[in-house]
Amino acid sequence: MRKTHVLVYVVDSSDRKRLPQAKAELHRLLRLDSQLPVVVLGNKQDKHNAMSVWELHEALSLGAVADDRRLFLLAAQLGSDGLIVSRNLQAFQELILQLV
């Protein structure tokens, strides 16, 4: 991850069974670089069993991430056309650009 500017980590919010695995992998990646900004996308929010942003925060232990790391947790879902549905897709793009 030497030339990485930002980590965008996409989680399936509806796959509760594998959340512990997703959490372990995220924290493994975070240990590789203490400065790397991270954007966690809780995808598949349209599914009836999807975890909320708060549940994801808990399940991924984001409270344990160091205070000085730039960390964002956003809800996301794909539209039927395969594009990310966001009330403010432009704001997301600007966030990513500000982090790099």
Binding residues for Mg ion, rule: CB under 5 A, are 12, 15
Q: 69: which DSSP letter?
A: S
Residue 75 bridge partners (DSSP): 42
Is 15 annotated to bind ligand?
Answer: no
Of 11, 23, 42, 43, the one binding ligand GTP by CB under 6 A: 43
Tokens 């349209």 locate to 46
User: Using CA atoms, how far apart are residues 1 and 36, in angstroms rounded to an integer?
Assistant: 9
**Core vs surface per residue 54-73: b (16+ CB within 10 A) or e:** eebeebbebeebeeeeeebb
CB of 50 to Mg ion, least distance (A): 12
CB of 46 to ligand GTP, least distance (A): 5
CB of 22 to ligand GTP, least distance (A): 10
Instruction: Examine residue 86 and tell whether it contacts ligand GTP (CB under 6 A).
Output: no
Residues that bind ligand GTP (CB under 6 A): 12, 43-44, 46-47, 77-78
